[in-house]
Structures are given as structure tokens and as C-alpha cells.
Structure 1
Amino acid sequence: MGEVAGAESDVTWVGTLAGVLGPGVAVGALLGWAEHLRQTGGRRGWRWLALTPLLFIVAPLAMPGALAALVTTGIGGGAIMVPLIGLAGGYALSGRGRVWTRAACGLLALSIIPLWAVMAPLAGGSALAVGTPRGALVALHFYALLAVLSLACSAPFRPVVDVGRSLEPKAADERL
């Protein structure tokens, strides 16, 4: 947060813990649980866990003054875009659904690459331009974290593992 916002930022420990790290832990745990449920045959309603990245929107906007700042200045718009990119990327990586919808979601998720390259210098000054060492490092971290989020978000969208078939004993001739 401080690397992106720069030295003049208003980043606080409370804001970082309550608005970023807390929701991150919750989203990671719930998406991990979704993968566990998928690997063990699924459960009724478990695919609703696909919506857990939306905690990245709810938690920061619940902080005092955050909604007003978003509406009046646009500050906090990244808190909305990040989970949407994760969900779109997760659906694109899942291998389920129509090809054209997965392709559209994949293009939406990948659109952050040129968007960051254009917007980061405008928001953070020339130090965040991807042509500078600091800008390239920040961009690489940002892209990598979004890729990991997209991969994790794919768990509730992927097909359920059929545990019944994997537990069947093999025939005598197959064991040899």
C-alpha cells in the first residue's frame, strides 16, 4: 500500500488491517474451503463461495467516510475493480461455461495490464511508470497478486471432483 501510495500517503495500520489484510485472510480462507469442498464432492450451495471476493468491497466501504470519498472523489475505486477482476479471471480460468463468456471475462481480467500501465503514473507520478525500476516492480507485484486471486477465484467455478469413482476398487487385471 505504501509503495503504491507513496511517501505522502494517508495509509494507516487500521485501514490496512481492516480494509485489506482482514478481508484478504477471510477471502483466502473461504476460497480455500471452496477448493476443499470441490475436491470432496461439493455440498449444497457451496458455489455461493464464488462471491467471497466481494468482501474486498464491503470491508473498506464500511470504514467511516469511505463511501463519501468514493462518491465524491472516486478514491477507493480500486477496491471495487480488484475483486471484479478476480471473479472474471476465475471464471475465465475455470474451463466451464460458454467459450465466448470465458473469453470475454479473460479479456476483462487482462485489461488491467494496459490500464495499470496508463493509470499508475497519473495517480502516483512518474515513479510508478512501468519504465522505471520501482514502477516495474510495483506493476509486477500487482499483476502477480491479481493472477493468484484469479486462480483462487476459479475454485468455485471448476467442476466437482467425483469422489465416488476414485474410491472404487480396481479390477484384478488392472492391478497388475
Structure 2
Amino acid sequence: MIRSIVRLPAWGGVCGLAWASGLRGFMAQVAGPDSSVSWSGTFGWILLPGALIGVLLGWSEHIRRTGGERRRWLTLSPLLFASVLLPGLTDPANILADGIGGGALALPVFAIAGGYALAGRGQRRLRVLCGVLALGPIPGWVIATLAQSTAIGPRETWIAVYFWSLQAVLTLAASIPFRSTVRSPAATR
């Protein structure tokens, strides 16, 4: 029983860490030579929250598979990425400076909305609205790229695919707490 409880959160933690590492690589590509790695910034505000989100979503999957009681707050676990904004609360005027704050909020909000839409539960209109919201990063990234560049070449296209695939994976993971609970004990094996 203990092994079953630990397995999915541990796998989730590894997947979350790998995802957050990919996110940090993406951020380095966007920042270019201005990118820097630090213990607090990279490890404390990106990799640690990514691993914790993975653990929480893995735990949510364990609960879902074993028919346990749902914990609705787990649907908000991707918002741990917004923890990078906590130091900025002392100076709210700069909380969204350099795009970090906006991204720290937008990534999880788009993922949670998309996760709700993908889970296929709840009001149809709300799922459609959340699905449209979750697709916002696709045209948003193209518009932002065109605003900064005269042409979209292979590098810009690769960075867009990098971003969109990271967002898609987070969205799929964020759907876990919204999915229907499995009632069959045989499904936990």
C-alpha cells in the first residue's frame, strides 16, 4: 500500500522536474546572452516548484485511481509557479516587471483552464470557454514574435514549438485533478 501511495507522486516529481528544466532551457533561449543561472532563481523559483507541482499532480492521480476523496485545491497546484512573485509583493509596482510575473501567472492559468476543458467534466459552455482561453498562447506567441521581429525564421519557429509543447504538457498534467475518479480496485494495479 505504501509503495502505491509513493509511486505516482514520485514519478510526478521527476516529470515535474524534467518539465521545469525544459522551461528553464526555453527561458534561456528567449533571454539569449542575458540569461543567467542562480541558486535562488533557477533552483528555488523554477525547478523546485516544478518538482512540487509534479508531486501534487502525481498524488492527485493516485487519489483518482484509487477512488479516494478528491481534493479540489490540487487543481490549483500549477499556480506554485507564481511563487516567484512572492518577493515582489513588497513592491507591487514591479511585480510584473520583465515579463516574469506575467509568465508566472499566465502559464499555470492557461494550463488549468485547458486541463478543465480536456477533462470533459462540468458545464459544456464553461469547458469550451476554458478551451479557447487555453489556446491563447498560440496566437499570442505569434503576435509577440512579429512585434519584435520582422520575419519568423527557423529559430523563432523552434522557440514557438518549444513554448507550445511545454504549455501542452503542463495542460495535460493539469487535467489530472479534473478527471473522473476510477472506482475499480483493479485499476490501481
Q: Secondary structure at the match of 2:68?
A: coil
Partner of 1:69: 94
Q: Distance in 1 between matches of 2:73 and 2:100?
A: 29
Partner of 2:106: 81
Structure 1 residue 74: Cα displacement: 5.6
Q: Distance in 2 between matches of 1:66 and 1:148?
A: 33
Contact 2:96 2:102 (C-alpha < 8 Å) held by counterparts: no
Runs ≥4 residues deviating over 4 A: 64-68, 71-75
- % identical equivalent positions: 46
Matched, 1:30 2:28: no
Q: Distance in 1 between matches of 2:37 and 2:92?
A: 17
Q: Distance in 2 between matches of 1:83 and 1:163?
A: 31
Q: Secondary structure at the match of 2:180?
A: coil
Structure 1 residue 60: Cα displacement: 0.6
Q: Distance in 1 between matches of 2:132 and 2:73?
A: 24
Q: Secondary structure at the match of 1:27?
A: helix
Partner of 2:16: none
Tell me how large the CA RMSD over aligned residues is: 2.3
Question: Aligned to 2:165, which of 139, 144, 157?
Answer: 144
Q: Distance in 1 between matches of 2:95 and 2:32?
A: 20
Q: Structure 2-normalised TM-score? A: 0.75
The structure carrying a bigger helix percent of its residues is 2
Matched, 1:21 2:42: no
Matched, 1:113 2:138: yes
Q: Distance in 2 between matches of 1:76 and 1:66?
A: 12
Aligned residues: 159
Structure 1 residue 101: Cα displacement: 0.5
Deviations 1:97-131 (Å, cap 9, x if unpaired)? 11110000000000110001111354xx439x6x2
Matched, 1:153 2:174: yes
Q: Secondary structure at the match of 2:84?
A: helix
Larger-gyration structure (1/2): 1
Partner of 2:154: 133
Matches within 5 A, 1:159-170: 159-163=180-184, 166=186
Contact 1:61 1:67 (C-alpha < 8 Å) held by counterparts: no
Q: Distance in 2 between matches of 1:66 and 1:120?
A: 29
Contact 1:35 1:155 (C-alpha < 8 Å) held by counterparts: yes
